[in-house]
Structure 1
Amino acid sequence: MTIAVVGSGIAGLTAALHAHEAGHAVTIYTKGRLGDGCTPHAQGGVAGVYGAGDSPAAHADDTLSAGAGLSDPDAVEVLVSEGAARIAELIARGVAFDRADDGTLLLGREAAHSAARIVHAGGDATGAEIARALSAAVRAAGIEVVEGAFLVDLLQGDVGVGGLRLLVGGALVDRPADAVILATGGAGQLFAHTTNPAGATGDGIAAAIRAGAAVADLEFVQFHPTVLADGTPFLISEAVRGEGATLIDEDGHRFCFDEHPDGELAPRDVVARAIARRAARQGRPVRLDATALGARRLAERFPTIDRVTRERGFDWSREAIPVTPAAHYLMGGIVTDLDGRSTLPGLLAAGEVARTGVHGANRLASNSLLEGAVFGARAAAAATRSPRSSSEDGGADRVDTRSVLIGSHRVSPGSARSTNEVGDRAEFSRAALQQLMWESVGLLRTDEGLAEAIATIRAWRAEAAAPASLTDHEDANLLLIAAATASAAASRTESVGAHFRERSLIGVR
């Protein structure tokens, strides 16, 4: 059996290793180099190691609470019950998680977790260590890897998906496969401010939409609260606040407690909105104060952040540093069942590209790497067991139909004005799209802003020429996902989790 895995983060590498070990012919296609993507940028860690007084049930409760009532309890149960085995597997494959002097795993705590249950590596370099170890395991196993392979489209087979159309070295190449596992990540490049790398242009989700697969929950975009507001966006891990850092305004006031009793450790959407509102009110970024942790502790626990902040002229052991929210993680994506199968036979998905149901309206910190490992393994098992099956436990029926898009011809109804009502619309550019999405489909959304965004994106798509270059294909993907995201946000009129509706537009720049 031939299995094509697209993407080489934790979900894709885990799926490829499991499928290879089951005896199948596996090829990994990756847009950049092996191990690229969002995984190596992950700082916080992997949730799922339970100490005294903690349990999978408590982890599940925290996940469901963060998801604002929209998480799938069955998917959450899979995540927490299989997490320990996947973390043990990472260790066996060579991931060097940080340990205490007695050899036990060091456990950290992040926002909205009720206990310290997060393992990390290199202090704040967890994702980089995971990418290194899994990439080495793939190389050692002799799995075929095609680097610089851009996913253009999914090929139709006799039943469902039968392979891939790729852009490799400037040429279009068709590769048949018995099963395709998409692990291409999210679409952070939809927004002007993002923690995601430049390649996060939603290629897998867009290809799935064009092929007719169901996608859902695209309106639920998580904005990380704390990105260094100086120079190129650089994430300041939530673990910093878990260790005791505070958020203060220009008067030194810990304003997050005005929004939530957990203050800086409230769910990410609450903290991000609090920061955005306070920054708009005072006309400058808020600050993260980690000075109480001291220079030695900061350097030991967060060596990467310590180095980068100092390179940018900040001594965060002595001064509070400016921070701002930025688009970080997409809770929605390709609708899958608990085994990673999409609504199309032959197509599976795992990681950020998939809507497994784990995250609901808001992702709990450090559940993303865990989800990639757990559902990457399950997708590989399903692909090797029954590659021509589609989701058996409801598929799109498992989600609120307001946020479901099936194929490129169905978009949830919104209040969009017609194109000729937009007025002086800017010509399309990626930067213009990103700014439009940031202002109108970002942290704080209004009817007016969403209507303008939908109409403008619709006009841009109507005017777009057929893509030729890789950049053209990326832009087309971003426009397609932007249209679906804005439409889904317009259709969900209530505020829930990361999706927040306001009566009037508040600029977040």
Structure 2
Amino acid sequence: MSKNCDVLIIGAGLAGLFLALKLAPRKCVVLSPAPVGNAASSAWAQGGIAAALSKADSPELHAKDTINAGAGLVDEVVANLVAHEGPQRVYNLLEYGVPFDKKENGELALSLEAAHSLPRVARVAGDLAGREIMKSLIALATKAENIEIIENHTALSLLQNSNGQICGAIIKGDGDVFHINASQTILATGGIGGLYAVTTNPMQSRGQGLGMAARCGAMIADPEFVQFHPTAINIGKDPAPLASEALRGEGADLVDRFGVPFMKKYHELGNLAPRDIVARAVFTENHSGKRAFLDATKAIGDEFPNHFPTVFASCMDANIDPRIQPIPVTPAVHYHMGGIVADMWGKTTLQGLSAIGECSSTGLHGANRLASNSLLEAIVFAGRCAERLKGQETEDVKFDAPEIIPEVMDKTNQKAFRMLMSADLGVVRNKNDMTRLEHLLADYAETFDKWIPNELITMQLMVKAAIARKESRGSHFRSDFTQLDTNARHSYLLVEDEGNIKIL
């Protein structure tokens, strides 16, 4: 059984839906692994979208902050492009009905987050930005004549013909496995958080898109760079609820169990230091026995239910009243800076395949993403990808090669490797731990007859690049190589025909 379409978008988060809407009138199929919006990290984003939207701000300043946060690996051309196009994309969302918070004079209410020079994060109802943005886009997408949404279906692998061109995907859903043939295929599959034991991402985010693309020979960049959000709420939930960075922007303080603030001893910017530094500080305090808490009792207090309803509800569910009690926090995997190499129009190194959103690597984030730049990247590159595809004629692409249907990780091994990834490829890393993980992944790969799981490929790419990077840069911190290498370089990797990973 097979289905034909013009454009296939794999993923129904912000990037996928924004692209689908901007493609009109070109027809597309959007694939969602769950009811649309339910499996997307976009819906869980609390902070909002960063853009130069105030009179005091400028795209140049936003780009400068992005470059500074990225620890020497941000592509300055891309940073300036995104910063300049960002405001118009935010206005697109306003046109789509997103109810961004506004001041009494009608201007957007903007929040300050770590490593930003001034307030530039547009929010919705305090900490409900992701949910409300997705709600508006879903309402439009479900009515759009050019969009067909297929829910509760998952892409197993990409269809690649004998010329190396991508021409759709193999899909599973409702017990059936079938082909969707497409002239253009776009991966908008999100990140890798579900590969770790402690994450703020949906469990469906396990790097499947990255693994699918890598298996076909797409170039992968910087997979070792994983951003840990420093303040996931430490109450044993999976996924971990998030205490938005905006809380620290409003004046909340990171303290130990004795109530003593500790961030100033780690960085001069204190609570608003770059995320990688704050994450390591929280990690260190927790492992020292002093533990780490976010105290917002003075900064937010009684305003919690109105200003941060999501955080408030998560805390109250755990019998913590953040109006009068500090919130226990821990670092959690939050965002993947690495991914499938994509140019400024979303094109990958494979003909017929594009990548947008978190699964892509555009050069914007470098080694450490600037807070709230992720939703911005999603809409900027989704918009640019739509502009490129709208100007192309539909191509009749034939699939004439053997199918690849990967095997699946069982639940027991999923759980075991989540623990191992957190232990051996976590906030603080070293050669011995990572080498152990690399060997365990290789041994597990040997247990499969032919096509190993997509997420196993992704984990192998991540640990291979992390071992090779013998320095500490941005989110990648090695206890055995604590210094920054004077040569700032990207990691580029390819999976060869035999399954071997080659570092270029």
TM-score range, shorter chain: 0.7 to 0.9
- CA shift for structure 1 position 105: 1.0
CA contact (8 A) 2:471 2:481 kept: no
Instruction: Report the counterpart of residue 11 of structure 1 in structure 2.
Output: 15
Tell me which residue corresponds to 1:430. Answer: 414
Contact 1:180 1:347 in 2 (8 A): yes
1:86-165 to 2 correspondences below 5 Å? 86-142=89-145, 143-157=147-161, 158=163, 160-165=165-170
Q: Distance in 2 between matches of 1:2 and 1:213?
A: 22
CA–CA distance in structure 2, aligned partners of residues 285 and 197 of structure 1: 26
Aligned twin of 2:264: 257
Matched positions, count: 459
Superposed CA deviations along residues 86-124 of structure 1, whole A, max 9, x for unmatched, are 000000001000112222211101001001011100110
1:191 to 196, 203, 210: 196
Helix, strand or coil for the counterpart of 1:225?
strand
- Superposed CA deviations along residues 41-83 of structure 1, whole A, max 9, x for unmatched, are 0000101043233211110011001100101111111110100
In the other structure, the counterpart of 2:34 is 32
* Correspondence 1:45-444 to 2 at 5 A: 45-142=48-145, 143-157=147-161, 158=163, 160-232=165-237, 233-282=240-289, 285-386=291-392, 429-444=413-428
Cα deviation 1:289-318 (Å, max 9, x = unaligned): 001124332222101111221121111111
Residues 7, 27 of structure 2: 8 Å contact kept:
yes
Q: Could you tell me which of 2, 5, 19 is aligned with 2:6? A: 2
> Is contact 2:114-2:272 (8 Å) kept?
yes
Change (3 A) 1:102 1:160: same
CA contact (8 A) 2:342 2:349 kept: yes
1:384 deviation in Å? Answer: 3.0
C-alpha separation in 2, matches of 1:356 and 1:245: 33
List per-residue Cα deviations over 1:265-302 (Å, max 9, x = no partner).
001000000110111111x6311000112433222210
| AA aligned opposite 1:495 | S
Between the aligned partners of 1:127 and 1:428, the Cα distance in structure 2 is: 32
Question: Which segment drifts farther, 266-275 or 46-55?
Answer: 46-55
* Distance (Å, rounded) in 2 between the aligned partners of 1:81 and 1:434: 38
CA RMSD of aligned residues (A): 1.9
Task: Give the secondary structure class of the aligned counterpart of 1:89.
Answer: helix
8 Å Cα contact 1:345/1:387 also seen in 2: no
Percent identical residues: 39
Structure 1 residues 331 and 103, CA gap change in structure 2 (3 angstroms): same
Amino acid at match of 1:16: A
d(CA) in 2 for partners of 1:486, 1:120? 35
Give me the whole-angstrom Cα distance separating, in 2, the residues matched to 1:375 and 1:453.
Answer: 34
1:17 is displaced (CA, Å) by 0.9
**Do the aligned partners of residues 5 and 285 (structure 1) sit closer, same or farther apart at CA in structure 2, a change above 3 Å counting?**
same
The 8 Å contact of residues 220 and 340 in structure 2, kept in 1 or not, is answered as yes
TM superposition shift of 1:465: 5.1
For the Cα contact (< 8 Å) 2:112–2:119, is it kept in 1? yes
User: Counterparts of 1:493-504 in structure 2 under 5 Å?
Assistant: 493-503=470-480
Cross-structure match for 2:458? 481
The Cα shift of 1:503 comes to 2.3
Amino acid at match of 2:463: A
Give the Cα–Cα distance (whole angstroms) in 2 for the partners of residues 170 and 360 of structure 1: 40
- Pick aligned residue for 2:443 from 456, 459, 463: 459
When structure 1 is superposed on structure 2, of 300-309 and 349-358 the one drifting more is 300-309
Q: Which residue in 1 is equivalent to 2:501?
A: none
Deviation per CA, 1:440-485: give whole Å up to 9, x if none.
1111010111111111111011113567xxxxx8xx2222111110
Provide closer, same or farther for how the CA distance between residues 54 and 186 of structure 1 changes in structure 2, counting only shifts above 3 A.
same
Any gaps of 5 or more consecutive residues in structure 2? 396-403, 405-410, 483-504
C-alpha contact 1:49 1:119 (8 A) present in aligned 2: no
Q: Distance in 2 between matches of 1:324 and 1:148?
A: 32
> Does the CA-based 8 Å contact 1:288-1:322 persist in structure 2?
yes
- The question of whether the paired residues in 1 share the 8 Å contact of 2:222 and 2:465 is answered with yes
Distance apart, 1:428 and its partner CA? 6.5
Cα drift, residue 252 of structure 1: 2.3
